Chains A and B, each alone.
Chain A
Amino acid sequence: ETGVTQSPTHLIKTRGQQVTLRCSSQSGHNTVSWYQQALGQGPQFIFQYYREEENGRGNFPPRFSGLQFPNYSSELNVNALELDDSALYLCASSPSGTGGSVDPADTQYFGPGTRLTVL
């Protein structure tokens, strides 16, 4: 058990709709990262939040957006859903590194994921 939870477990949406996925990080972890994992692929980095601000983004369009809250919870929002958005969405939390900034050495602890199906 990593202490990272995600909701919902499964979700079915239709093309063009909007979706919000939620994540609750381990207490004390100031960094949360979101990944998209298509079937049979490795996870792909979407973005990372540190102390409630975006700290880097992967190759995903602006319709993927996020929020991080002071209570160690966070959200991934996807607008105008497309069929290719069907995937497992994973959030990962990590403690802040030394010096108060995110450290690539920090281990990321993953939640169980939300499986999104877009019809």
Chain B
Amino acid sequence: AQKVTQAQTEISVVEKEDVTLDCVYETRDTTYYLFWYKQPPSGELVFLIRRNSFDEQNEISGRYSWNFQKSTSSFNFTITASQVVDSAVYFCALSEMIYNQGGKLIFGQGTELSVKP
């Protein structure tokens, strides 16, 4: 069965520290998509990145970087030089086909990141 595991429930760092959020997934599909979302206290899920299963190239966007390793079924997210505004709950998600017609998102439990000044 498809599943996403975020083993870190809570992480607390001091501003300017680097932090890595782990994500491990399970799927039987050969084609799938992985996502990261950020959920600030306001509640709205903010899209950060989408990665397909055929592209294992790491991606960097400003202070954010993602490490996709198909061999270990992991899609980890690193924030470099963290800032207080990065404090939020971060979700990793897997996109699954529905009856070969579409996709639903399967989310992990989330990692609550607290960045202290």
Partners in one complex: yes
A56–B98 alpha-carbon span in the complex (Å): 6
A104–B99 alpha-carbon span in the complex (Å): 11
Main secondary structure of the interface of A (DSSP, over half): loop
Q: Is the CB of B105 within 8 A of A108?
A: yes
B residues near A103, Cβ cutoff 8 Å:
102-103
Chain A: CB-nearest residue to B43: A113
- Size of the chain A interface, CB-CB below 8 angstroms: 33
Q: Is the CB of B104 within 8 A of A58?
A: yes
Residues 75-109 of chain B, each 1 if its beta carbon lies under 8 Å from chain A, else 0? 00000000000000001010111110111111111
A residues near B105, Cβ cutoff 8 Å:
33, 35, 43, 45, 92, 108
A55-B98, A115-B43 given; A42·B103 CB < 8 A? no
Main secondary structure of the interface of B (DSSP, over half): strand
Q: Is the CB of A41 within 8 A of B109?
A: yes
A49–B1 alpha-carbon span in the complex (Å): 23
A110-B37, A110-B45, A112-B44 given; A43·B107 CB < 8 A? yes
Having A31-B102, A104-B33, A105-B33, one finds 15 other A-B pairs with CB under 8 Å, namely A2-B46, A33-B105, A42-B107, A50-B101, A56-B101, A56-B102, A56-B104, A97-B102, A103-B102, A103-B103, A104-B97, A104-B102, A107-B47, A109-B47, A115-B43
- Chain B positions within 8 Å of A, measured between CB atoms, are 4, 31-33, 35, 37, 42-47, 50, 52, 91, 93, 95-99, 101-110
* Nearest 9 Cβ contacts at the A-B interface: A102-B102, A104-B103, A56-B98, A42-B107, A110-B45, A104-B95, A45-B104, A112-B44, A113-B43
